[in-house]
Amino acid sequence: MGRETGARPYDVVLFGATGFVGELTAEYLAEHAPAECRWALAGRSLGKLEALRDRLAAGRPHLAALPLVVADSADPGSLRELAESARVVATTVGPYVWHGEGLVAACAEAGTDYLDLTGEAEFVDLMFVRHDARARETGARIVHACGFDSVPHDLGVYFTVRQLPEDVPLRVDGFVRAGAAFSGGTFASALTAFGRGREILRAAHERRLHEPRLVGRRARAPLGGPRFSRETGTWALPLPTLDPQVVTRSAAALERYGPDFRYRHYASVKTLPMAVGGTAVIGASVAAAQLPPVRSWLMGRYGSGEGPSAERRARSWFSVRFVGEGGGRRVFTEVSGGDPGYDETAKMLAESALCLAFDPLPKTAGQVTTAAAMGDALTARLQAAGIRFRVAHRG
């Protein structure tokens, strides 16, 4: 079992359990949490929590008494009680830049491990500046981006690096493809981020002032430019998401990435017209998000808590291909699975929580990445749960 944090009633608490991804995560835990796991559902509406518990208990009588915890992201006292009751808290309540800090602060203070699904760079940087030091003092592990942002990319690069020689400069490129729909919560988070360019830059600058510099090694993720990738046979468009930042933070934390590590992150599309069209759509979305009335109207078109049907999710998929080079060696790897934004994200969040609660792991504290905190153990869990990590070719 993982480290103990006092005599707390719960190993894992899922906060935001009645949201779209929250319910999927609760269903996954109901099916896969080990019998000895003491877990609970948390949210701000007792009625909705009771209804969710009733659905989970249908066919699973042992869940009829599953504990429920009422907490609200706007109520610091309830968040403090939640954090003090658990060894691990996983939250799906976003956009995190608006609703997330209270729980991070409570977990950092209580020495409670914290997990979320954020892809919001501003939030991650601000949480480092404000709460990393306290989490290190209490032993709390603050692990952001435990869903499709950024587990397949972070652990995929970790898996790729482990196929290459040690103690040499390493270069890895990642190429992301997916066929999937998105939920209202994801749409709201994306629009929020698109509309906060200045705040994102300010938070990144503040983090650089507080973050210790890497000495004697280098880890970087240059944006690069659009290009045709002969390795994948597709057009590669640079993706300025949180994922490459997470990868480079893993590289900075782990010497296995070598003395000089570089990662580039791309969206992979089959044809040039698709590449041009995708770039235009992203540009239009960013432009629209700068106007508050337009942003509010767009958010209203797809309500938070809504998402694709089970049938649509069953047809969804993702694939992230990696090309790694170093020490005269070259390797092609792939991480792939089903519906990325919801079914697989719920799986990743749930398995991350169980990993922190029960697996023997490296000793870490403060804001850490999935690779640094859980690399081998979480990779093994996800492989056992059906997410594929494979070496396609060695050269």
DSSP 60-118: -GGGTT--EEE--TT-HHHHHHHHHHEEEEEE----HHHHTHHHHHHHHHHT-EEE---
Q: Which of 218, 201, 207 is nearest to 263 (CA)?
A: 218
327: left (phi over 0), alpha (psi -120 to 50) or beta: left
- Angle subtended by helix axes 20-32 and 184-194, to nearest 10: 130
Nearest Cα to Cα of residue 127 among 244, 42, 241, 206? 206
Question: What per-residue confidence (pLDDT) applies to 1?
Answer: 44
Tokens, residue 66: 């599953």
The pLDDT score that the predictor gives to residue 196 is 81
pTM here? 0.91
Q: Give the amino acid at 287.
A: A
Phi, then psi, of 195 in degrees rounded to 5: -90, 5
**Per-residue pLDDT at 301:** 52
Q: Which parts of the chain have pLDDT scores under 50?
A: 1-3, 5, 183-186, 273, 277, 279-291, 294-295, 297-299, 302
Neighbours of 232 (CB within 10 A): 18
Can you give the pLDDT at residue 9?
A: 98
The CATH number of domain 10-147+344-379, selected from 1.10.760.10, 3.40.50.720, 3.40.50.970, 3.20.20.140 = 3.40.50.720
